[in-house]
Amino acid sequence: MKSSGSKHTRRNIVLVALLAVLCIGAAELAACRHFAPDVYQQITAPVRHAVSVTVDACRVGLNAAGQFCQDVGEEMVRLAQQAGEGIVRFAHQATRQASQFWEELTTPKLIQLEYDEPPESSSPENWGPVIPPALTELLERDGRQILTGGNVDIVYFYQASEEWAGQPYGSDTIGPYGCGPTVMAMVVASMTDTDTDPAAMAAWAVQNGHWARRSGSYDSIVPGAAQAFGLEVESLPTQDPEDLRTALRDGKLLVAHIGPGHFTTGGHFILIHGATLTGDLLVADPNSPERSLMIWDPQIILDELSSARSHGAPLWVISKPR
């Protein structure tokens, strides 16, 4: 306990001594400031310089910190503005794209269909006949086949059908030789009230001298049958497609004697019963329902007409009496 008290006594003595020194130093500095200013300036100059440097350093640091904060603040403002502008641009772009998508989704599209062009090596006159979309049809009406689409609905007979092929035509049969009476049966049945057919017309042709043994029919069967059943007939001496189309007006029909080509390898009679808006012809071929459902370039028919010139051949115009 005694040792601890001695330590406190010594510490107090030291503190009092230091305080006395400070007081004496302060008193001397105060006296020196009044009585010896130069000495005072020399003594305090290092301290004042250190304090000034410290203050300046603090001021520079504070200014730098303030500028840094200001720069950071301005940069944050600039970035925020850019971000805002970007958001606005994105919103405008998204709205525009959504509008375009909706317009494409709701606008009807015109769809343009594509087709194959014919080969460059082929010319129109060499193209085969084209099957039209229902320009002409074979229909069943009152127990007979009717070929539609022309000037007159044609009562169609097929010479090679089971019903007519074996029927007699003189000493021949209608199947291989009866195109003449079959065509004229179509003409008469379609343009008059006469109820006829290939067998009846073949019998009439034999009786009236129009049958040609092993050759079919003479050209005389066309004007002969037309006049015999009350129809008017005249020859059409033409080689012009427009004349064919003109002759088909007003419900008239054409009978053509055809040579080798699309319809036959020898000689053949066909019935032309109409023209399309594009100028092609509708044909009733007594030996082919398939060819009867096709449209035909008139030049093909003109090019394949028979060279025969008897009895108004190879083209006849048939019409009802005026």
What is the per-residue pLDDT across 28-54, written as a single tens digit (0 to 9) for each? 555 555 555 665 566 556 656 654 655
For residue 281, being part of any structural domain is answered with yes
- Span 98-116, average pLDDT: 43
Residues 6+ positions from 89 with CB-CB distance below 8 Å: none
**The pair of three-digit structure tokens given for residue 106, joined into one six-digit string:** 């709701």
What DSSP character marks residue 276? -
Nearest Cα neighbor of 80 from 69, 72, 70 is 72
For residue 86, being part of any structural domain is answered with yes
Looking at the structure, do residues 30 and 140 belong to the same domain, yes or no? no
For residue 211, being part of any structural domain is answered with yes
Structural domain that includes position 73: 13-105
Looking at the structure, do residues 154 and 268 belong to the same domain, yes or no? yes
For residue 122, being part of any structural domain is answered with no
Looking at the structure, do residues 101 and 245 belong to the same domain, yes or no? no
Q: What CATH number corresponds to the domain at position 203?
A: 3.90.70.10
What is the per-residue pLDDT across 1-23, written as a single tens digit (0 to 9) for each? 545 556 567 766 766 666 665 55
What is the per-residue pLDDT across 207-233, written as a single tens digit (0 to 9) for each? 999 999 999 999 999 999 999 999 999
For residue 125, being part of any structural domain is answered with no
Looking at the structure, do residues 79 and 187 belong to the same domain, yes or no? no
Quote the pLDDT of residue 111: 30
Quote the pLDDT of residue 186: 98
For residue 114, being part of any structural domain is answered with no
Flag the least confident range among 59-63, 113-117, 285-289, 318-322: 113-117
**The pair of three-digit structure tokens given for residue 244, joined into one six-digit string:** 């064919």
Which residue's entry shows tokens 């036959």? 264
Looking at the structure, do residues 205 and 90 belong to the same domain, yes or no? no
Strand spans (E) along the chain:
138-141, 144-147, 154-156, 168-169, 172-173, 211-212, 216-217, 232-235, 253-258, 268-275, 281-284, 295-296, 315-319
**The pair of three-digit structure tokens given for residue 269, joined into one six-digit string:** 């009679």
Looking at the structure, do residues 34 and 89 belong to the same domain, yes or no? yes
For residue 184, being part of any structural domain is answered with yes
Looking at the structure, do residues 77 and 145 belong to the same domain, yes or no? no
Looking at the structure, do residues 235 and 141 belong to the same domain, yes or no? yes
Flag the least confident range among 129-138, 149-158, 244-253: 129-138
As a whole number of angstroms, the distance between CA 267 and CA 306 comes to 7
Amino acid identity for residue 318 in this structure? I
Looking at the structure, do residues 237 and 171 belong to the same domain, yes or no? yes
What is the per-residue pLDDT across 195-213, written as a single tens digit (0 to 9) for each? 999 999 999 999 999 999 9
Quote the pLDDT of residue 243: 92
Quote the pLDDT of residue 238: 79
The total number of structural domains that make up the chain: 2
For residue 128, being part of any structural domain is answered with no
Nearest Cα neighbor of 308 from 250, 196, 222 is 222
The neighbour count for residue 140, using CB atoms within 10 Å, is 8
Looking at the structure, do residues 312 and 244 belong to the same domain, yes or no? yes
pLDDT higher than 90, residue 280: yes
**The pair of three-digit structure tokens given for residue 321, joined into one six-digit string:** 């009496």
Helix (H, G, I), strand (E, B) or coil at 245: helix
Quote the pLDDT of residue 250: 83
Whole-Å CA distances, 170 to 185, 228, 232, 285:
16, 19, 27, 22
Which residue's entry shows tokens 């062009």? 117
What is the per-residue pLDDT across 141-187, written as a single tens digit (0 to 9) for each? 999 999 999 989 999 999 999 999 999 999 999 999 999 999 999 99
Looking at the structure, do residues 152 and 297 belong to the same domain, yes or no? yes
